[in-house]
A and B are shown apart, each in its own frame.
Chain A
Amino acid sequence: MSSTASTQTGQKAQSLTLVEAIQDGLYTEMSQDDTVVVLGEDVGKNGGVFRATDQLYEEFGEDRVIDTPLAEAGIIGASIGLAQTGMKPVPEMQFMGFMYPAFDQIVSHAARLRSRSQGQYSVPMVIRAPYGGGIRAPEHHSESKEAFFVHEPGLKVVSPSTPYDAKGLLAASIHDPDPVIFLEPKLIYRAFREDVPTKPYEVSLNEAAVRREGSDISVYTWGAMTRPALIAAENLSQSHGIDVEVIDLRTLSPLDIETITESFKKTGRAAIVHEAPKTGGLGAEIATTIQEEALVHQEAPIKRIAGFDAPMPLHSLEDYYLPQAVRIQDGIRETVDF
């Protein structure tokens, strides 16, 4: 992968994949602020199982890029303590499916220390975790359980869908005074490249991105599903003249309710695409928010195109589980033709 060295060559931008942009983002933040430390399983010498921390160990040494014992509760609990000393921990959970041992530390403590101490203490940290399916992985390696964390007040939840956003959102997350769950869509870790500025920059945690403007229906999505949603939009525009607006939420908590409702007021129709199970997923929250804010503009039932209410199957069936472009297209047409 492109090494951190290229950051120093004086170029204004480099063409990076999403995982390279994350690595570059970590490098940039660690260079500027030596309280930033990366810790987790295999993040050091190995450079992370997805290479997201590649070269950082060589660059910053074992006291800032720390291989920990295999213990998620320990990693997050320790990070909460580190944060109390003025350090900026960026712990990595190797896969989202292995975050559960740390769940108690995250929801009972990281999320609540600020409110519990009435603002006296806070937990500025960024928990990075690769998530989602589609990479032919074994059981537990394809989880997409963002709703667990969105449901917990006190946490921010972020999921980039492009290399540019990955670096900018990561920077904003690291600068944020509250704990952020930074969910990395591993399906698109290496799917495409994009120009990413070498200089530091932020992408705001308050703004959804309008990826494609349209007037007939608003499609709300995030992470890896942004790509099939855009493909579906393009296909429908060509085959049926349906003009689809695609909104990439980027920050899942707190939601950018303004961008969500403004789009809906324009189109009057909505489809929400996520790979997580349908029931209790973030789609339900978005649909209800739209109805609360803009019911009078509604022209058709709101459609959710989501994963099944079943565990993610092993890879022989995962293509049927994840929303594919055809499923998204079909859902959009149903809503538009209502």
Chain B
Amino acid sequence: MNMKNEAGSKDVPATVREDSDLVQVLDAEGNVLPQASVPDISDRRLLELYETIKLARHFDQRAISFQRQGRLATYAPMTGQEGSQVATSLALAEQDWLFPTYREHAAKYAHGMDLTSLFEPLRGYREGYAIPDDVNVMPEYIPIATQVPQAMGMAWGHKLQGKTDTAVLCHLGDGATSEGDFHEGLNFAGVFDVPAVFVCNNNQWAISVPRERQTASETIAEKAQAYGIDGVRVDGLDPLAVYKVASEALEKARNPGPGELRPTLIESVQYRFGAHTTADDPSVYRDESEEEVWRDRDPVDRIETYLYNEGILDSDLESEIQDRIEQEVSEAIETAEQTETSPDNIVEHVYEDVPARLEEQRDELNRLREKYDDGAFSEVLE
């Protein structure tokens, strides 16, 4: 396989092992590997995959630059991880559910969230956490691994109610595999054989702590075995391989063949190219040369090369797509910047009805706002 150092010049990071268990379709450049089975996807769907990955890359760049301009608060970048995020979401059926983390911006978008709502929480507006009724996405999970048992529970609920056409896909990081919730969730998933797919986005780092400090297991996928569920390891920078593995796992979750298990743990082997968040400085804990090696396997370039090779994409279409993406992201941020909120929102949605005591607290605040102007409240607390 080609994840190996084909040029022979740069050192291959220990995390990119030459192993037969890593599912791949494309080589590092984007050519189909000799033994690979290409997933059966229409050209239209392939272009959607491509466009969404490109959009994710552009979204990421814009978000980082808006953050630097002080227009967004702390942001968790996804460059390098877009291929896997988008491919897993496009593998979902509309009725399937998605449990995202704080880094799964593109996964949420690809499963139906609009871009504006992704920007809003970053501008400090909880309004963006609202999920439209027809979109099966949970609000992002920030506490690590907490979503795993919950995703299991939802899949279980569907199964208990005979809704086996609905699968649940749950994202987590490599760091998350250290938390108790991860083990409890996967253990339940195995015991109750639920229609859930857990995708560990192994980007090699949990802030400054490398994958080898999270687990002494050789791979994350092999942990599945201990819970009696299936484990698959896939090249997470190869969107076609991820799409293939995720679709198969989701299909099996909904419709297991004789003797097949519903749940799967997918280890999507990838790399976080940038900082953990805009508040983090990776140069303190890792070597830049490591990033370069992974850059050679960039998911955007690989899918692009593949589409050119297949004659599905040409330069006219490429620039048309690029223009559309830029416009869509600009419009979303402009709309998000016009979002307005009121301090009354602090008390909203804590309970179905605002309790009397909380109402009093809100009234007290409004009385003070009238007495002093709003500026008095934005004095820096120092």
Contacts and interface: CB of A to CB of B under 8 A. Distances in A.
B379 interface: yes
B143 A45 contact: no
B44 interface: no
B357 A279 contact: yes
Interface in A178-196: 187-188, 191-192
Contact of B215 (A46, A69, A73, A326): A69
A300 interface: no
A59 interface: no
B162 interface: no
Contact of B124 (A67, A134, A136, A279): A136
B149 to A, nearest CB: 12
Interface string A72-106: 11100000000000000000000001101100000
Contact of A46 (B144, B207, B341): B207
Contacts of B102: 138
B184 to A, nearest CB: 11
A41 interface: yes
B73 interface: yes
Given A47-B284, A313-B126, A70 B379 contact: no
Chain A interface mostly: loop
Given A227-B381, A326-B368, A326-B377, A140 B143 contact: yes
A257 interface: no
Given A137-B73, A227-B382, A317-B343, A309 B350 contact: yes
Interface string B340-359: 01010111001000010110
Contacts of B346: 308, 310, 313, 317, 320-321
A332 interface: no
Contacts of A45: 208, 284-285
Interface string A306-333: 0011110111111111101111001000
B333 to A, nearest CB: 16
Nearest to A49: B207
Nearest to B128: A314
A238 to B, nearest CB: 16
Contacts of B379: 319, 324-326
Interface residues of B, number: 49
Given A137-B74, A138-B102, A315-B124, A70 B178 contact: yes
B285 A46 contact: yes
Contacts, number: 142
Contacts of B176: 70
Contact of B214 (A42, A70, A73, A140): A70
Interface string A46-76: 1101000000000000000001111111100
Contacts of A134: 381
Contact of B181 (A101, A278, A309, A314): A101
Interface of A: 41-42, 44-47, 49, 67-74, 97-98, 100-101, 134, 136-141, 187-188, 191-192, 224, 227-228, 278-279, 308-311, 313-322, 324-327, 330
In order of increasing CB-CB distance, the 10 nearest A-B pairs are A316-B124, A46-B208, A69-B178, A70-B175, A315-B124, A320-B343, A71-B178, A326-B376, A314-B124, A70-B178
Given A69-B215, A98-B144, A326-B376, 17 more contacts: A49-B279, A70-B175, A71-B178, A72-B179, A73-B179, A140-B143, A228-B381, A308-B347, A317-B345, A318-B124, A319-B379, A320-B343, A320-B365, A321-B346, A324-B377, A325-B376, A326-B377
29 contacts: A41-B206, A41-B209, A45-B208, A49-B207, A67-B208, A68-B213, A69-B213, A70-B144, A70-B178, A101-B181, A137-B73, A138-B73, A191-B382, A228-B381, A278-B361, A309-B357, A310-B358, A311-B350, A314-B126, A317-B341, A317-B343, A318-B124, A319-B377, A319-B381, A320-B343, A320-B346, A324-B376, A324-B377, A327-B368
Interface of B: 73-74, 102, 121, 123-126, 142-144, 175-176, 178-181, 206-209, 213-215, 279-280, 284-285, 341, 343, 345-347, 350, 355, 357-358, 361-362, 365, 368, 371-372, 376-379, 381-382
